[in-house]
Each structure stands twice: as C-alpha cells, then as structure tokens.
Amino acid sequence: MRAYLAGFDRGFRRTIADPGDMAVRVGFFAIILVVMVALWRAAIAAHGGSIGGYDMRSLLWYVFAAQTAVLGVRPRSVEEIGDEIGSGAIAIQMLRPVSVVGLRISIELGEGAARLLTALIAGGMLTWWFAGPPPSAAGLALAVPAVALGCAANVASQHAFGAVAFWLLDAKSSWFFYQKLVFLPGGMLIPLELLPHPLELASRLLPFATMAYVPGRLASGDADPMLLAWQLGWLAALMAIAVAAFAAGERRLSVVGG
C-alpha cells in the first residue's frame, strides 16, 4: 500500500509542479463554461425556462460538476497505455514488485486530485458568478466526493480499455470509441434526462454515467446519496476489470527485441 500511496503523492506533486499545464486546463475549462452558458441559456429560453426538469441555474451547476470530473483525468490515457503496451515500454513497469495497473492508477489519481482541486475552486467560482449559488448545499456537498469518484472510475475504465492493446497492440480505436461513450452516455455533454428515452435507459445501465452524470446530477440539486453508492459499485467493478485485464494481458505480452 505504501508504494501506491507514494505513487499518488508523486502524481500529485508532479502535476502541481507544472503550473503551465494547470493554467491551460483551467483556461480551457472557463471557455467551455462560457460557451455552455450561452448555449443552455438559448435552449432553456426556447423551452419556457426549463428543459428536462433542469432550470438555468441547476443546468449550469450540472455542467460545472460533470466537466470538472472529466477534466481531472489525463486526457489521452487510453492511447498512452496502448502505445506503451504496443511498443513494449510496459515491460519496464513489469519489473517492479508491485501491480503495474495499481501503480499506474495511483499515479494518475494523484495527478487527477491536483487538477480537480484547481478545477473545483476556479470552476466553482465561475459557475457561482454565472448562475448564482448552487440549488442545494447538500447536493453540492455530495457532488464534491462524486467528482473524485467519477474521476477514479474514469481512470480505472481507461485502463480497462487501454488493456485491449495487449491483444491488438494498439488502443487508438478504443480511445476514439471511449471518448464518445463518456461524452454522450456518460452525460458529459448533456444530462441523461435530455437523451431519447431508450438511450437514457441504456446509459443508466452503463458505467460511463458514473463519470460525469452522477456528479452533475448531485450538483444540480438532486441530493440523493444512492447516486454515490451507484458510483462506488461501478468503481469497484471497473477496478476489478482493469486489474483482471492487465493480469491476463501481462501473461500474453509479446515483446520482441531490445
């Protein structure tokens, strides 16, 4: 456990040591929020002040939490994992007396924690300025751990998807597919309630909704603690899948030459 905590700590310190990257991310986040405010303001005005049960304020707090949870994750992790497996660089990580996927996830969670802290503070202030106070203090209080759990579920899931490269030697295609799954069934672009009914039902059965929709839903004012339980369940399952996929993949790793 010491090794994984050290990995988390190293990831955290490495990220805060690179303020340039943090500034770019927060700047990009602010632009997304401004664009979303304009879009949703027009959409809600066209629907008489509410859409899918969300008014302007709740929708903007939804957007803030959903985007923050995704912002915490290393953007192209699936692709990077695939490149490391395909090139054989993963072999170096296999020469340490700890779980390869465990150490990778702990480092990425450390990086994510640093990004989330910044995004929560900067994004929260911006959202407050644009939309006013959150619809529910309890909802916001639950949204904060939900953002962290959503980020963790996303990291675990990216490792499960990236492990495909043990078989295909590349994860570019799965990265493309994965990104879209977080965007739509994950609720990053729009709340699930705004999707067509069959797609909304299917999305609720998939793990991606725990990565953006759950934090967003809580921040929008629905202070339902069962949403956190839903996240925790999927997080455990995704971690187990990632560990199993790496264990199976490491056994069949084929690295030729130096």
Partner 1 sequence: MDAIVVDQLRKTFAGSGRMRKRAPVEAVAGISFTVAAGERLAYIGPNGAGKSTSIKMLTGILHPSSGQAEVLGLVPWRQRRRLAGRIGTLFGQRSQLWFQLTPRQTYSLLARIYRVTADEERARIAELGELLDAGDLFDRPVRSLSLGQRMRCELVASMLHQPEVLFLDEPTIGLDLVAKSLFRDLIVRINEERGTTILLTSHDVSDIEQVARRVIVINHGRLIYDDRVSQMRRTLLGTKMIDVRFAQPPDSLEIEGTRLVKLSGAGAKLVVDTTLRPIRSVLDDLLDRHEVVDISVSDPPLEEIVSHIYARPA
Residues that bind partner 1 (CB under 8 A): 2-3, 5-7, 10, 13-14, 17-18, 88-89, 91-92, 94-99, 103, 251-258
| Nearest-approach distance from CB 18 to partner 1, in angstroms | 7
User: Which amino acid is present at 59?
Assistant: L
Give 118 or 203: the residue with its C-beta nearer to partner 1.
118
Whether the CB-CB separation of 253 and 171 falls below 8 Å is answered with no
25: tokens are 């991310």
Give the whole-angstrom CA distance, residue 191 versus residue 128.
Answer: 19
Whether the CB-CB separation of 181 and 205 falls below 8 Å is answered with no
Give 21 or 55: the residue with its C-beta nearer to partner 1.
21
| Nearest-approach distance from CB 114 to partner 1, in angstroms | 13
Give the whole-angstrom CA distance, residue 3 versus residue 106.
Answer: 9
| Nearest-approach distance from CB 99 to partner 1, in angstroms | 8
Give 169 or 237: the residue with its C-beta nearer to partner 1.
169
Give 103 or 227: the residue with its C-beta nearer to partner 1.
103
User: Cβ–Cβ contacts within 10 Å for residue 131, how many?
Assistant: 21
| Nearest-approach distance from CB 93 to partner 1, in angstroms | 9
Torsion of CA 208, 213, 215, 217, to 10 degrees: -150
| Nearest-approach distance from CB 168 to partner 1, in angstroms | 13
| Nearest-approach distance from CB 109 to partner 1, in angstroms | 14
| Nearest-approach distance from CB 6 to partner 1, in angstroms | 3
Q: Which of 63, 52, 60, 223 is nearest to 136 (CA)?
A: 223
Give 48 or 97: the residue with its C-beta nearer to partner 1.
97
Q: Which of 146, 127, 125, 136 is nearest to 64 (CA)?
A: 127
Which residues are paired to 51 by β-bridges?
54
Give 49 or 258: the residue with its C-beta nearer to partner 1.
258
Give 3 or 184: the residue with its C-beta nearer to partner 1.
3
Burial of 137 (0-12, 13-18, 19+ CB in 10 A): exposed
Whether the CB-CB separation of 57 and 153 falls below 8 Å is answered with no
